[in-house]
Structures are given as C-alpha cells and as structure tokens.
A and B are shown apart, each in its own frame.
Chain A
Amino acid sequence: MSDLFDLAIVGAGPAGLAALIAAAEASDGRARMAIIDSRPQPGGQYYLQPPPDFQPPARESFLHHRAEAQAWFARASACDADWLLDTDVWGITRLDDAGWQLHLRGRDALRCLSARGVILAVGAYDRPIPFPGWTLPGVMTAGAAQNLLKSQGLLPGRSIVVSGSGPLALAVAANMAEAGARVAAFLHAAPRLIRRSLRHLPALWGQWARLREGHHYWRVLRRARVPIRLGWAAAAAHGEGELRAVRAVRLGPDWRPLPGAQNTETFEADALIVGYGFTPAVQLSRLAGCRHVFDPRSGNDAPAREADMASSQPGLWIAGDGAGIGGAALAQIEGQIAGIAAMRDVGYAQRERAEAQIGRLRGALRREQRFAALLAALFTPGPAFYTLAQDDTLMCRCENVPRSALVAAAQDGAQTINEVKGLTRAGMGLCQGRMCAEAVAQVMRAARQSGYSPPPAALDPDLSPAATPRAPLWPLTLDELRRPVETVEPGRR
C-alpha cells in the first residue's frame, strides 16, 4: 500500500525527537515518517519554550534548556517527516496485514494515519495524590507551575508553598524564588532522605551535571531564606473558594502523616504547588493491547518492553517516560534505540549495523536506568501517604466522587477498578481516570489488605491503576464526529 507511512512517532518531546532523528539516520532518509504532538510546538514538557510572540529570557537557564532544545529542534526539523502538531491521538487500531492506524484530532478536523511501525513517546504527567482541599483554585501540580513559568513567564501566586518529592519539586521551588515569588515553605516529603541516599551512592557517581543543577537550586532556596522542611508534606489546603493557607504535616518513615500538634505547621499562601513524581501516560499503549506490568517501586503501571523498546505488540515500540519514569536523558537514549529498531524491522536499516548501533547505546542506557531506579527508590510515596485523603476528600475530581463512596463500593464487593468505576463514576469524567486511577487503586489495595474485599485469584493481583481504556482517549464533540475524516498520507502534509 502506497499510502502507508513507514513510521509514525506519537509525541515530539525528548524521546520522540530522538527517535525521529535516529530513524532518519538509520534509514538514510528513505523512511516515510510522521511525527505527531498535541502541542503547537515540539519539545514536550521538558523543552517547552515561550510562544513565538514572546522574546524569551536573554540568559540561558536550567528552566528552559534553550540551547539544548534549539539544537534538538534543528536536527529534528532537518529530517524528512510530516509534522502533525496541535494534534491529539485519540485511538489506535491494528491493521489487518501489518501496521497500525492512528486516529487523530487536529485543530480543524479528525484525521487518520496508517503506519507500518509506531513509536509511542507520549511522556507522563504529575502523579495526582488526593488530600483535603486539593481541588481549591490555587492548588496546582509542579508541572503546571513550571509550564506557566517556562512558557508564560507567570507565577501561580505571590506567596507559594511547594510540597513534593524528587528533583522537580526542588527545581520548581527554586524557580519560584528566582522568578520573584515569596516561597512560604518548601516541604520535601520523602522521609529519611539523606540516610537512604547514602545507600545509593554508586548510582549518583558520574551524575555531576545533575548534582550541580540540584546544588544550584538548593543554594537559591537558602539564599532566599525559604523555610525548608524535610520529611514534611502539605496535608490540607484551606480557603473559601480560593487557597488561603496550607497545613503541613510531618511524615513517619513509611510516609504516614504523624498526628499531634508538634507535627503540624500552617503556612499562609495563595498558591500550593504539589509534585510527588510522575505517572506514565499509558492510555494509548493499553488501548493498543500492550502487556503492562505494575512496578511497586515506582508505584506505576508501565508497558513491558524488550531491550530494543519493542512492546508486546508487533510493530509498536515505546520510549521515554510513557514507559516508566526516567527523565529526558533516558528518554532520548530510549528514543534513539526505538528509532533504530523500528528502521531495522521495517527493512530500512541493515540488521547487523542496527544491532551494533543499539549495542553502543547500552552503556549510557544502563547508567540512566540506574539513576531512574535511584529516583524511584528515594522519592516514590509509600501507600500510607494516600491516607492524607479523608472520607469527604474528592478522589475523582471530574465526577466529584468522595473517598467514602469508593470505600463503600469496595465494601459492597467491588473487586476491580472497572467495578468501582461502574458503581461510583470515579474515572468516568473528562480526564478519563488519568487523575484518579492511582488513588482508586490505593483505596482498593487497602480494602484488600483489611480483608473486606479479598482479591479473586484470577484477577490482577497487583491491581494495576487503570480501568480498561476506551477510545476516544480525549473528548470529541459530536460536531467533530459528524464531519468527514481526512486520511493523512506521506508527503501530503
């Protein structure tokens, strides 16, 4: 078939751009490729830049990674590929012979595109963890706050509490201070961090650039005299209609919020930024039927992959944070491997040469994987952290489902996330469970442990944090659906 792309890449962030460049090189520019991203500009969250109407900050910073981003954009735009920006992928279906069809929603029309191979490089989003008051305007994720700052030059408030765990939380707290906000408190939740870090010193060896970046942020916070609380987290957001104050709580070694006045402190703030790590966006890979595995160390559900980033489905590779959280550097290596492997399998790259190229990336891959494992070990919230949510805390933000309704469903015998969804509507709203699935799974796991909802042996023993995905993965309007669907073919743009 002539209208088939050789390769379609979903996502133009670090993994997707690296995959595109590697595939173009591996095929000597012969492969017909398409790259799709929901944003109007490439780069994903990591290389997010100010809009074309803005003149960006004159100085290079850890916030924009501008020089690095521009270099990637230049290499990627030199590749022969059809760019479909401002385009969501709302479905994926297997073609009868070989390959995949992607269902797209562009700015003005629905489109579809068929490709012999697909690389999913869809990234991740902030891991949502419910706590009382987390739906108040003024409470936002670390990713939201950093995006607003990076691309819009905007602070979410004047007096800001940052509560989180891991590098992004530290970076965002420092970013806010550097940008001129009063950081009322930086709460770093991971308990016993220093003691546990010592055990992982070998994985830190060689990560000098990252350690330098972290040191820079720490110095910014110290210089701004930001109150820093290690082993503390935001337990509740207070305010009438908008955020006014944040109640912080000290955590025990297993992340359990500790009772008592001595373990509580209140900070006045008009913005609260929360960031406890990331959740891979597995909606497309699940919809494609890829096998997924729950990883208790990172608390995430992720697609199972071969060493060359192949998923359990033929002709489908997965690279970057969408396959497990590892950050931009790991995503770029995975993207390269996936790009080369895809070209090898669709027949544009000679097998031995492709294997040799992949082999040369193994060392760097392993080093970044070790670092990712370190981050997961140090910063992943323990199950006890989910006890921040109270009976009336909304667990499903879209459908306003309180924790008590989920517990009642579990007590009534619901044993899977799908059953809880059917009984309570949790996960049925516009975000399609992206915001609540993990919290619902935690409630179910707690119910199983307490014995009133024992797991049937045949069912997923780990209780993967996702209901069965359904297309469309993004809301579509009936008006869009009634219009003809355009087919995108190579070279037609």
Chain B
Amino acid sequence: MSYVAIKGGTQAIHASKKLFRDLIHEAKGITDGELQQGLLFACDRIMSEGALYSEKLAAEALRRAGGDLLEAAFYLRAHRSTCKRIGVAELQNSNSMQVLRRISSAFKDVEGGQILGPSCDYVIRLFQTHVQDDEEFSPQENSLANSTPSAMESLRRNDQIFTLDNHEKKPYDVSRSFPLPPYPRSALMQVMSRGETGAMLAFAYTSMRGYGDVHPTIGDLRIGYLALEFTHPFTGKKVKIGEIRATACESIGSFNRDPRDGNLRLSTGFGFCFGFNETKAITMSILDMTMHHSGYSVGGVDIASNPEIVIHHIDGIESMGFANHFKLPHYVTFQADLQVLDTAVKEGRNE
C-alpha cells in the first residue's frame, strides 16, 4: 500500500472542517428551491453523476460542497448506498417523454415537430447586456403533440437501422457487482449513464477529432419529463409516483454490413441520463457507437472504442477519489523512495 495510518490532529481537523464551512457559507440565504431552479443544470449533473434522482438532496449536496459538482455527486452516491432499495420502477421509454425540447439534425420535418425548447444554444456569450436584449417579439401559439416518437422511427420502419443482438435476459447492475470483460452492453450503458460529463466528453472528442472515426448526425435529441411508475402493493396496479427530468439522444453513424443478413444498415448509438444534460447524452451516444461498431476504430488503437478504457475511466467519483487520495500522508512510503534514491546515488558514484 502506498499510504500508512496516522493518528492525532483531531482538533486541527475539526477546525479545518469549520473553516471550510465558513469559507463557503453553505450558500446561506439561498433556499433549496432557488438552488434547484437557478442552478438547475448543476443539480441535474449531480443527480446524474451521483446516480440518484433527488432534487432535494442535489440542492443540499451543492450547498454542502460549495458548488463543487464532483464533491456534490459524491454526497448523492454515498447517500444512495445507505438507502434500502425497494424495487425496480416501470421501464422508461424516451419515446413517451413529455418533451420540452426536441430536435433532429437528420430530418427537417419530423412527427411532433422540431421544438427548440429552453436552450442557451442561441445565446451570445458576452456579458454586455445590450447584446443579450432580445428584440420585441410575439410568441406564436403552436400546439404540441401528445406523444413525440423518435425521429429515427421512420428509419426503423424502413429497416435501415442496424439492431444489435440482445443476449441479456435482464439488465446488469454495476452498483451491486462490477462485471468482467467482455462487458455486457447494459453494464456499459449504466456506467455511461452515471459517468462524469467532462470525462465522457473528452473520450468522445478523441474520436470526433481523429483518434477514431465518428462524425455522427443527431437523429433525435430531447429533454423533458418521464413518468416514474411503480406497482401499488395492495391493488397490484401501476401508479404514477412522480415525474423525472431526463435527456435522451439517438445519433446516427455511417452504414455497416449487418452480419445477420449481409444487408447494409446505419449504425446508431444511444445516450440517456437523469436531468437536462445534452452534452452528456450526445457523448454517450457517440461512445456507445464507437464501442459497438469496430468500423469507427482507426487502426484498432483509439481509446474511445475500447470498452476497457471507457468503463474504468469515466466515473467521476472513482477518479476523483483516486486523484485526491494522493493528498493523504504518504510519509513512510516517501521515506522509502528517498532511501532508494540515496542508494541509487551511492551506487552510481561507486560505478
């Protein structure tokens, strides 16, 4: 082991924790509701990366961590491990999402329409207020469809989409045990769904830039609300217990030969996460595509198409923990390093 047990310092540790609380003021004066609404995307990242949907605890974690999103996600992940798991909710299908925003870069006209929704895509990133002022406009009243099927459905109907084989009877759960390679697809998807946005973006970006060969078209990108349902224990019927915010993305790659019948079909990737986080859903769909279709690998050496690399390096809480453990006392091991250095120097002089 590269660290040793130490003792002492209790008072200093108490003082350090108090000083930390004093430093960040724990966002005093800001209510949970204000944090949940005003810092919605921060709270959503915390829930997604902490793998626990709780708007209340996400705001509390944000407060306690002074805005550090990795630290806040750690609070949720830790809290998750203390809770009894009561069961499995009904299967979520992104096609039944009540969309706030839904766009397709592949098709101009799609069933349900292109809905820009709330987005900062069209904001000029300058602080000067006159640049931000919107011209006077009268919002148009447009009706929304009750359901908005994925824009990919037409391609599926025309048998133009490559469907991967499903060998799993039920999805793998990485929070109970971590799988060995070859990794089940559901395990990879779960790890990505709770992965750290920055890490996933970085890996996907390697493939986009050239250390891979993905340049996808966004078939369907949506944010919105999904009904969370469970079975009433006394009536045995389905009950809606709430609505969760979520983001889903289906991206389209190039065509591949389907080994099952030799026909050419388009490969696709899927991304899904709690909360509103388009960057994460897009990058997840890209990583999904690169890992499951060898055609996107360049020389077989790129990192984004390697499940071994992706599955072990995108969890923010694990990677943060590893990086931060280096701060812990390593006094004895470092003394050993110095002794080895001294010995090497002496040996060098003697040669």
Is B one of A's binding partners? Answer: no
Interface residues of B (CB under 8 A from A): none
Interface residues of A (CB under 8 A from B): none
